[in-house]
């Protein structure tokens, strides 16, 4: 099932990995390099409203996210933000955090909030070619093990 939040964050073009209850999407506005959205496919607008199977599957999704992002770049920390103010469907913004600037395809990404809370207002919006390449890179190295 696709919901409005998934569509807003570019599904299916930004899809990195799909599970039965969750989708991992590249966040179009990259607050930090490799920023993702972990969106629940259940029809729920409260975290407590997702299916028990979705809660169980969340462990595999977060494990896959963290292993894949660690393979992609050595991040210093990882933040999961569940804001759901504008987009009410259950989802997390997943932000790998870096103490130093990161470069990708000639673009420099600085973690403006480091070492405090992430600063989402400084996000870099990728051009379609760079976005598609980053999605492809993450798909290629994805690991659920």
Q: Where are the domains of the chain?
A: 4-141
- In the chain, the DSSP E strands lie at 15-18, 22-26, 29-30, 36-40, 77-81, 91-97, 102-104, 107-109, 124-125
> What is the per-residue pLDDT across 41-87, written as a single tens digit (0 to 9) for each?
999 999 999 999 999 999 999 999 999 999 999 999 999 999 999 99
* Host H or E run for residue 18: strand 15-18
Cα 53 to its chain centre, rounded Å, is 21
The string of pLDDT tens digits covering residues 81-115 is: 999 999 999 999 999 999 999 999 999 999 999 99
| pTM for this prediction | 0.97
Q: How would CATH label the architecture of 4-141? A: 2-Layer Sandwich (3.30)
């Amino acid at each position: 099932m696709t919901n409005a939040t998934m569509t807003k964050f570019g599904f299916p073009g930004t899809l990195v990995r799909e599970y039965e209850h969750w989708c991992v999407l590249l966040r179009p506005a990259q607050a930090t390099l490799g920023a993702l959205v972990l969106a629940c496919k259940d029809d729920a607008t409260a975290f407590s409203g997702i299916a028990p199977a979705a809660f169980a599957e969340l462990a595999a999704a977060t494990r896959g996210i963290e292993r894949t992002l660690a393979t992609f770049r050595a991040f210093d920390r990882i933040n999961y933000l569940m804001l759901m103010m504008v987009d009410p469907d259950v989802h997390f913004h997943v932000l790998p955090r870096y103490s130093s600037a990161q470069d990708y395809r000639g673009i420099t990404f600085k973690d403006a909030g480091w070492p405090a809370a992430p600063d989402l207002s400084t996000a870099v919006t990728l051009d379609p070619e760079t976005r598609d390449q980053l999605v492809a890179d993450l798909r290629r190295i994805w690991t659920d093990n």
